[in-house]
């Protein structure tokens, strides 16, 4: 079998060679025209391949350019994002507030309150007070912050035919502690520390005005953590008094507030202690009070001038907010060290209750004071705003140690309409019952005065 295969292979080899030579000879014999055509076809193929190579190179260049542009866009976007961290943010809080992430903050602030009303006193007093109107407050100022936890506020009041500085302060906040220096409120009572923009009646409780509460120049510290607030400070006189005369007093204040929240109920319990030393040996104090509104200068109760070396006072506070209902009450004692005389102690206090008639509305509260009412359905949301009714009993006793300044039993009602968080309209009625009044009605020192007042307010 093997030999036969070997013979076949030998036989086939010459045949294959002959066939190969047979095919090759005709191919070699092809005409020069056909060879030229083949060369031209090869040349065209080489040209097409070169064109394809050039196109590939061009596409590679375009791709590299696109990648470079994409990288540049990515870098630009990153830079823009980083730059946005330092961009000014604008928010609305009655007026534009400008704020940067680096700690800068700035806002123009102010308020306007216009009052009008009538006072009806017995004819025997000789006080035909009738109708009165005034711009109660017209304030304009600035507030803001700086890097490092520093804040500032400056505000002036243009009411009462003059320009008075109200706040002029700088503060520093670090964690739970805030330090303040300049003219600002000392820490005397819940009613006094609640802004006039957010109080329940046109005027605060009688004792706050009668006992001469006002802003003073000083330095203070506040500690606020959780439900505990402690405020203390050392103060001299109001900046207006200091600019007109030499400083006449030094004093210290301490206020402690416990303000837990139980479910939806905000509670407030507080107490305060105050001491003021009068520097002038001939110093006097005088305690008196208007009839419920400010647009009259008449005071139906008045101690007159009392020789004074110092004042020591202390107060108690209680309040609660539960849904549409709120309650607030304070008691305050003012003792005068009067050289050569018995030392009188005068007393004032109030109790009030309020209720919102509009669903979902409630009184605001923040950091130990009542705060802004924010209507759930205000005009800006297509609603009617918030409507609130308040009742108050307001007591003031300026009789003690032989001094007869008079007593007041005040009964008041207010209706407040808050169309938006920054606008307010209110109507007040008060019945002031006086005993031992400083102004007599004939021979009578016991009588009543009826007071009606309205206020239009906006702030920013």
DSSP 157-172: E--TTS-EEEEEEEEE
Q: Which two tokens stand for residue 40?
A: 């031209």
Dig out the tokens for 24 from the structure: 């090759």
Q: Is the sign of the CA dihedral 232, 237, 239, 242 positive or negative?
A: negative
The answer to whether residues 311 and 336 touch, using CB atoms and an 8 Å cutoff, is yes
Among the listed residues 371, 324, 389, the one whose alpha carbon sits nearest the alpha carbon of residue 198: 371
pLDDT score for 346:
98
Select from 247, 309, 251, 302 the least CA-distant residue to 284: 309
Provide the 8-state DSSP code for 212.
Answer: T
How far apart (Å, rounded) are the C-alpha atoms in residues 131 and 398?
27
pLDDT score of 343: 97
| Predicted TM-score (pTM) of this structure | 0.81
| 150-157 and 96-99 beta bridge pairing | unpaired
Rounded to an integer, what distance in angstroms lies between the CA atom of residue 222 and that of residue 220? 7
**Cα angle 337, 190, 283; round to 5:** 25
Q: What's residue 244's pLDDT?
A: 62
Per-residue pLDDT of the chain (460 residues; tens, 9 = 90+): 444 444 334 343 443 433 444 434 444 445 677 778 777 878 788 777 787 777 777 777 777 777 778 787 777 776 666 555 557 889 888 899 999 878 899 999 999 999 999 999 999 999 989 999 999 999 999 999 999 999 999 999 999 888 999 999 999 999 999 999 999 999 999 999 999 999 999 999 999 999 999 999 999 999 999 999 999 999 999 998 766 666 789 999 999 999 999 999 999 999 999 999 998 889 999 999 999 999 999 999 999 999 999 999 999 999 999 999 999 999 999 999 999 899 999 999 999 999 999 999 999 999 999 999 999 999 999 999 999 999 999 999 999 999 999 999 999 999 999 999 999 999 999 999 999 999 999 999 999 999 999 999 999 9
Contact by Cβ (8 Å): 337, 343: yes
Q: How far apart are the first and last CA of the chain?
A: 118
Give the pLDDT score at 28.
Answer: 47
Instruction: Map 59-118 to HEC letters.
Output: HHHHHHHHHHHHHHHHHHHHHHHHHHCCCCEEEECCCEEEECCCCCEEEEEEEEEEEEEE
Q: Is-contact 364 386, C-beta < 8 A?
A: no
User: What pLDDT score was predicted for residue 222?
Assistant: 98
Beta bridge partners of 317: 270, 330
Residue 102 per-residue DSSP state: T
Q: Which residues contact 340 (CB under 8 A, 6 or more apart)?
A: 307
Short-list 412, 442, 456, CA closest to 291: 412
Q: CA Rg, the chain, in Å?
A: 44
Q: What dihedral angle (degrees, nearest 10) is formed by the CA atoms of 216, 220, 223, 227?
A: -10
- Residue indicated by tokens 């003219």: 183
């Amino acid at each position: 079998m093997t030999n036969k295969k070997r013979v076949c292979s030998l036989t086939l080899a010459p045949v294959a060679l002959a066939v190969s030579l047979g095919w090759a000879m005709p191919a070699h014999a092809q005409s020069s025209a056909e060879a030229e055509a083949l060369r031209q076809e090869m040349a065209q193929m080489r040209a097409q391949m070169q064109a394809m190579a050039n196109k590939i190179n061009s596409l590679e260049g375009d791709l590299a350019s696109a990648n470079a542009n994409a990288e540049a866009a990515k870098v630009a976007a990153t830079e823009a994002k980083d730059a946005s961290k330092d961009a000014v943010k604008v928010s609305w809080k009655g007026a534009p507030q400008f704020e940067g992430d680096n700690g800068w903050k700035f806002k123009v602030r102010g308020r306007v309150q216009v009052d009008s009303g009538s006072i009806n006193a017995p004819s025997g007093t000789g006080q035909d007070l009738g109708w009165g109107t005034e711009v109660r407050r017209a304030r304009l100022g600035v507030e803001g912050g700086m890097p490092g936890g520093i804040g500032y506020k400056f505000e002036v009041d243009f009411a009462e035919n003059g320009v008075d500085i109200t706040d002029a302060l700088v503060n520093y906040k670090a964690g739970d502690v805030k330090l303040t220096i300049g003219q600002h409120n000392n820490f005397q009572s819940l009613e006094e520390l609640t802004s006039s923009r957010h109080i329940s009646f046109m005027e605060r409780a009688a004792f706050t005005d009668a006992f001469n509460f006002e802003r003073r120049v000083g330095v203070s510290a506040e500690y606020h953590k959780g439900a505990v607030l402690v405020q203390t400070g050392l103060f001299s006189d109001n900046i207006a008094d200091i600019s007109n005369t030499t400083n006449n007093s030094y004093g210290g204040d301490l206020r402690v507030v416990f303000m837990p929240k139980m479910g939806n109920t905000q509670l407030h319990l507080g107490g305060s202690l105050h001491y003021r030393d009068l520097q002038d040996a001939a110093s006097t104090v005088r305690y008196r009070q208007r009839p419920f509104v400010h647009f009259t200068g008449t005071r139906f109760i008045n101690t007159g001038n009392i020789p004074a070396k110092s004042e020591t006072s202390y107060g108690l506070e209680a309040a609660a907010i539960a849904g549409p209902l709120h309650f607030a009450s304070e008691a305050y004692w003012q003792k005068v060290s009067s050289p050569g005389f018995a030392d009188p102690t005068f007393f004032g206090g109030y109790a009030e209750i309020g209720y919102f008639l509009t669903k979902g509305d409630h009184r605001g509260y923040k950091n130990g004071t009542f705060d802004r009412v924010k209507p759930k359905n205000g005009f800006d949301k297509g609603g009617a705003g918030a409507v609130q009714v308040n009742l108050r009993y307001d007591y003031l006793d300026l009789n003690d140690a032989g001094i007869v300044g008079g007593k007041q039993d005040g009964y008041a009602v207010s209706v407040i309409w808050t169309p938006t968080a920054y606008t307010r309209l209110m109507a007040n009625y008060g019945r002031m019952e006086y005993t031992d009044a400083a102004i007599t009605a004939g021979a009578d020192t016991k009588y009543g005065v009826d007071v009606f007042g309205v206020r239009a307010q906006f702030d920013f």
